Amino acid sequence: MKKGIVIVDHGSKKIESNKMLEEVTHLFHDKFKDKYDIVEPAHMELAEPSIETAYRNCVSKGADFIVICPFFLGPGRHWTQDIPSIASDAAKNFPNTNYHVALPLGIDDLILELLEKRLNQCTGNQFSCPSCEGTLRAGNI
């Protein structure tokens, strides 16, 4: 069995948001290339590549088992219904393949560490940094 990994987010009309998933996918592949040689990005909706496109890309690279990894925090409707339904439809085009939808990111010590890292960035910059200055994210301080 040769596995393909699809990292899927919601998708956005904002190009920079969609590009972030491409970067995450690229970084994941670089870090874990000895374990996963086929890694594709996908957006559930609003942008390409779609889950179907990513599934097809994995198959074209030799995968016969596709693991779809949601880049979502919680187990909402997208994880319980939408993504499995889209994956099932994509798999119908490739009857010699199978798929599995992994758990969302959820509650994990790594998520807690990331939250603390983000808070430290704000407090370390006295709540003033180029990414927030002049936006609604930075109130009157």
Question: CATH number of the domain that 97 lies in?
Answer: 3.40.50.1400
Q: Are residues 18 and 84 in the same domain?
A: yes
β strands within the chain, DSSP E: 3-9, 39-43, 65-70, 98-101
pTM of the model: 0.88
Which of 45, 41, 40, 35 is CA-nearest to residue 13?
Answer: 45
Share of the chain above pLDDT 90, in %: 82
Q: Are residues 92 and 113 in the same domain?
A: no
SS3 of 51, please? helix
Q: Are residues 99 and 124 in the same domain?
A: no
Q: Are residues 70 and 134 in the same domain?
A: no
User: In terms of residue numbers, what domain contains 130?
Assistant: 107-141
Which of 37, 31, 43 is CA-nearest to residue 71?
Answer: 43
Q: Is the pLDDT reported for residue 141 higher than 70?
A: no
Q: Are residues 33 and 94 in the same domain?
A: yes
Would you place residue 124 in the very low, low, confident or very high pLDDT band (cuts 50, 70, 90)? confident
SS3 of 31, please? helix
Average pLDDT of span 34-39: 96
Q: Are residues 16 and 57 in the same domain?
A: yes
Which of 3, 59, 58 is CA-nearest to residue 35?
Answer: 3
- pLDDT tens string 50-75: 999 999 999 999 999 999 999 999 99
Q: Using the 8-state DSSP alphabet, how is residue 50 labeled?
A: B
Q: Is the pLDDT reported for residue 137 higher than 90?
A: no
Domain count, the chain: 2
